[in-house]
Every structure is written in C-alpha cells, then in structure tokens.
Amino acid sequence: MVVATLGTSLNDPRFGSVGAVTQSNNESRLLPVALAMVLLAAALAWGLHTVGDGIARRGGDTVSVRGQAIRNVKADRAVWKLSVSQTADTAAAAISGVSDGVNIVLAFLKKNSVADDAVTIGGVSSYSNKEYIDGNATGRILSYEASREVIIRLNDVDKVAALAADFGEVLARGVNVFTGGPEYYLESLTELRPELLAEAMADAKVRATTLLAAVDSEVGEVRSVSSGPFQVTARDSTDVESGGYYDTASIEKTVIATVNVDFTTK
C-alpha cells in the first residue's frame, strides 16, 4: 500500500532554512532604522554646533565707545593761606614781629569787609637758625624765626581774587608774607557728577548709533559701562591726568566727565 505524504519537510533543501529567512527579514527591517538614527545624530550635532556658533557670534557683536560731557563752571569756594613770618636776633623779637604783621593783615581784611568767622588764625611757631661750618654745628645761634598762619575761607571767590590783587599794600608796610595765592574749589562738583555722567552716557549712545548706522546695524542694550576720573581744569586748558586732575589756581573751570560703554548690536 502506498502512502502519500502531504506537505513538504521544513528541512527540504529545495526551500532553504526557515531560520535564515527570518534573519534576513529582521536585517531588512533594522537597516532603515539604523540609517535614520545615524542621520538624526548627524543633524543634531550640526544643529548644536550652529546654535553654539550663533551664540558665540552674538556675544561677540559689541561696539565700544567713549562718551564725554563737558561743562564750563565757576568756582564757588576760595581758600587763601597766608604765612606771616619774622626773623630777629631773639625769639621774643621774632614772635613780636609776627604778631605785628598778623595785626596788619587782619586790619587789611577788616577794611575790605571780610567777616571774622571767615578768618582762621593758627598758632605761632618758631625755631632757631644755627651756625654750621663745614657741616658741623658751632653751637652759635645766628637768628630766630617765627611764623603764624592766617587762612581766609569765602564762598565769594571774586572778593578773594580782589583781596589778592590789592594785597600789595600789606607787603608795602614791610610785612613778610608767604603765599601761593588763593585756591579756588568747586564744591558743587558733588551735584554736577550725576548730571555729567548722564550726559556722557547719552553722548556714548549717540556715537555708537552713528558708528553702527554706517554699517546698517543698530545699538542694542548696554553690555558694560565704566566711568573715568573727572578732570577739573582751568578754562580752555588741556591739562589732564590718567588719575584725574583738579585745578585750584583758576576761578573759571572746565569739568570733563568720561564713560566707556560696550553696547550690543542688532
């Protein structure tokens, strides 16, 4: 009796192995996924690089300018120091001569309507002038010298300037006075500082706007700002110093404020 076998053996070499077919199908499915992951990683890396580069460029796009504000002002405080001195053979005579000289100075000030509370009189100092021969003291005293300081402080700077101009009448009476001349100050500088700094900042922005307009760009926000030292000079003077300058010899002054500002661009 002949028995007919329905179906085909799974191991029939004519049809190959079922395991091999399954493996091939899996590889076919994984290949597009792997390729997509590679492309995604490359795109992500490129994107991060571009963003980082953009941030770096954005951070570096700044313009640095210096702003300046200039104001011509008049001194509002005067201080005049006078040192009255006298040399004599004895200490008593030197001190007496100084007292006489100080009285003449005070009489001059009173004559010119200088109030008593505007005048400060210092103490008397004295010393001896000793004899030296070839650098060696002989023990002999040649003379004595005494001195006393008189200081005038007034807000009326023009009055002090007039006093200094007329002071020759005191010297004509034989009074020995040493003075470097009146010193003129600007007490209102404390109030002027914020105003001038604001003007200097506005000037810096105008300069930055002008510069950037030439390259079709615009001023952004302030990245950093620093103020330089104030320069208080005589009117029309070019005297400035890196650490600041303060002129006391002139009544008419020029105050200069500077700021250094970094603006972002957009």
What DSSP letter does each residue of 118-136 carry, written as one string? Answer: GEEEEEEEEEEEEEEETTE
Pairing of strands 136-154, 119-133: antiparallel
Q: pLDDT (tens digit, 9 = 90+) per residue, 95-114?
A: 999 999 999 999 999 999 99
Residue 137's pLDDT is 87
Whether 220 has a pLDDT exceeding 90, the answer reads: yes
| CATH label of the domain that carries residue 164 | 3.30.70.2970
Asked if residue 4 is part of any domain, the answer here is no
One domain for residues 195 and 173: no
One domain for residues 161 and 242: no
Q: Which of 30, 60, 90 is the last residue of a domain?
A: 60
Question: Total domain count for the chain?
Answer: 3
Q: Which domain holds residue 36?
A: 15-60
Q: pLDDT (tens digit, 9 = 90+) per residue, 26-57?
A: 555 655 555 556 555 555 555 444 433 333 33
Other CB atoms within a 10 A radius of the CB of residue 157 amount to: 18
Q: Is 14 helix (H, G, I), strand (E, B) or coil?
A: coil
Q: Which of 185, 215, 239 is the last residue of a domain?
A: 185
Other CB atoms within a 10 A radius of the CB of residue 163 amount to: 20
Residue 31's pLDDT is 58
Residues 26 and 230: their CA atoms lie apart, in Å, by 80
Other CB atoms within a 10 A radius of the CB of residue 148 amount to: 21
Pairing of strands 252-265, 119-133: unpaired
The residues pairing with 231 across neighbouring beta strands, listed in sequence order, are 245, 256
Asked if residue 19 is part of any domain, the answer here is yes
* 3-state SS track over 99-118: HHHHHHHHHHHHHCCCCHHH
Mean pLDDT of 229-236: 95
Asked if residue 10 is part of any domain, the answer here is no
Averaged pLDDT score across all residues of the chain: 85
Pairing of strands 183-185, 136-154: unpaired
One domain for residues 81 and 181: yes
The pTM of this model reads 0.72
Asked if residue 108 is part of any domain, the answer here is yes
Residues 19 and 208: their CA atoms lie apart, in Å, by 75
> Which tokens belong to 192?
């002027």
Asked if residue 52 is part of any domain, the answer here is yes
Asked if residue 6 is part of any domain, the answer here is no
Residue of higher predicted confidence among 33 and 155 = 155
One domain for residues 82 and 168: yes
Mean pLDDT of 75-79: 98
One domain for residues 94 and 168: yes
Asked if residue 70 is part of any domain, the answer here is yes
Residue 32's pLDDT is 58
Residue 266's pLDDT is 87
Asked if residue 156 is part of any domain, the answer here is yes
Mean pLDDT of 158-185: 97
Residue 40's pLDDT is 54
| H or E element in which residue 220 lies | strand 219-227
Helix, strand, coil percentages in the chain from 3-state DSSP, rounded to 5:
40, 35, 25
CB 131 within 8 A of CB 63: no
One domain for residues 106 and 159: yes
Q: Is 250 helix (H, G, I), strand (E, B) or coil?
A: coil
